[in-house]
Structure 1
Amino acid sequence: MRRKDREIQDKKEIQRIMEACQVCSLAFSGTQDEYPYVIPLNFGVIWDGDQASLYFHGAGEGTKTERMRRDERAAFCMYSGQEPALKQPACRSTMLYSSVCGTGRLSVVRDMEEKRRGLDALMRQYDKTGAGFEYDDGALERITVLKLSVEEICGKSNRHSNDAVQKT
């Protein structure tokens, strides 16, 4: 990372940023004849110590699934707290943000209990009340849940830097 002053390695801070995010963009490589593919997704995250796993859901068919079957490696990016910070002259303006990016390997979750845990994590990402969630067994059988086992993760933020501008 070029701007080491913005790098976040502390897992608790990375976790805090991830909790504030609403969308995770998942990126897949392309073949020689096709472009890379990026798709914004709803997500949930489960931490086991310092190890994060991201969960996504879908229909189990389409471009995302085809790319995953060819190559389980994926990259991800999520961000929150975007806020323009305007200065004069205009070229000194910036966008305040906090982000988390990383890489990992995707797999289809087949175990029903892990499916429930993954979907619970996804629901908790958007419903912070702590309520329990119920799932129709038939729908749970049909839905595809993907797990990204994170191998590399890093946070970045300019919301704390001294040069992070005054709004005008």
Structure 2
Amino acid sequence: MFKEMRRKDRSIDDEQAIELLRKGQYGVLSTVCENGYAYGVPLNYIYHEGNIYFHCAAEGSKLDNIVYNNKVSFCVVGNTEPIPDKFSYRYESVIVFGRAVEVYDKEKEDALVALIQKYSGEFMEKGMEYIRKSGIKAKVIKINIEHLTGKARQ
């Protein structure tokens, strides 16, 4: 169902790819619009309990596209460094394929708490208050991971 990686010599195992998902600061969500165009948008996220979660406003292109077609990809790029004399780069990246679905209730709250812990851990009390006040308005989307590939050049 998913194409094999061309440069298998650069493949990293699932454990390394998941570690990159855990430590990544942002990723690019790619969806398809009704008009057939690809739509990629950078966003912050959390890798939590084997899935990717992100929050968003109650309306917008991301949600419209997910309703149209919930098959998505999500890419995280870790450390990069040019290798000038080789005309190349050191890099690490992971691409996830899956289906995006909105989550509710406890799962939604758990994801929002995990996002606060990742990005604002030293402000948990304030973050919890923010979730109580604003969390109801936010949508939380989960990407159920169906396939992932990781690649690196060291």
TM-score (norm 1): 0.79
Partners in 1 of 2:42 and 2:129 — Cα distance? 24
Partners in 2 of 1:123 and 1:138 — Cα distance? 14
Alignment check: 8 A CA contact 1:28 1:67 kept: yes
- How many corresponding residue pairs? 148
Alignment of 1:80-99 (within 5 A): 80-87=78-85, 92-99=86-93
Point out the structure with the larger helix share: 2
TM-score (norm 2): 0.86
The 1:130–1:138 alpha-carbon spacing in structure 2 relative to 1, beyond 3 Å, is closer
CA offsets, 1:88-139, max 9 Å, x none? xxxx32111111102111111122x211211222233335669675144231
Note if 1:116 corresponds to 2:109: yes
Q: CA deviation at 1:157?
A: 0.6
Aligned partner of 1:79 in structure 2 is 77
Aligned partner of 1:27 in structure 2 is 30
**Counterpart of 1:139 in structure 2: which amino acid?**
S
Give the stretch that moved more between structures: 73-82 or 33-42: 33-42
Aligned partner of 2:13 in structure 1 is 9
- The runs of 5 or more residues in structure 2 that have no matched partner are none
Q: Tell me the SS of whatever aligns to 2:6.
A: coil
- The runs of 5 or more residues in structure 1 that have no matched partner are 160-168
Q: CA deviation at 1:59?
A: 0.6
Q: CA deviation at 1:60?
A: 1.8
Partners in 2 of 1:135 and 1:55 — Cα distance? 20
**Counterpart of 2:150 in structure 1: which amino acid?**
G
Partners in 2 of 1:43 and 1:125 — Cα distance? 9
**Higher CA-based Rg:** 1
Aligned partner of 1:100 in structure 2 is 94
Percent identity at matched positions? 30
Alignment check: 8 A CA contact 2:99 2:145 kept: yes
Partners in 1 of 2:58 and 2:144 — Cα distance? 18
User: Which 4+ runs in 1 deviate beyond 6 A?
Assistant: none
CA offsets, 1:4-26, max 9 Å, x none? 11111232x12221233111101
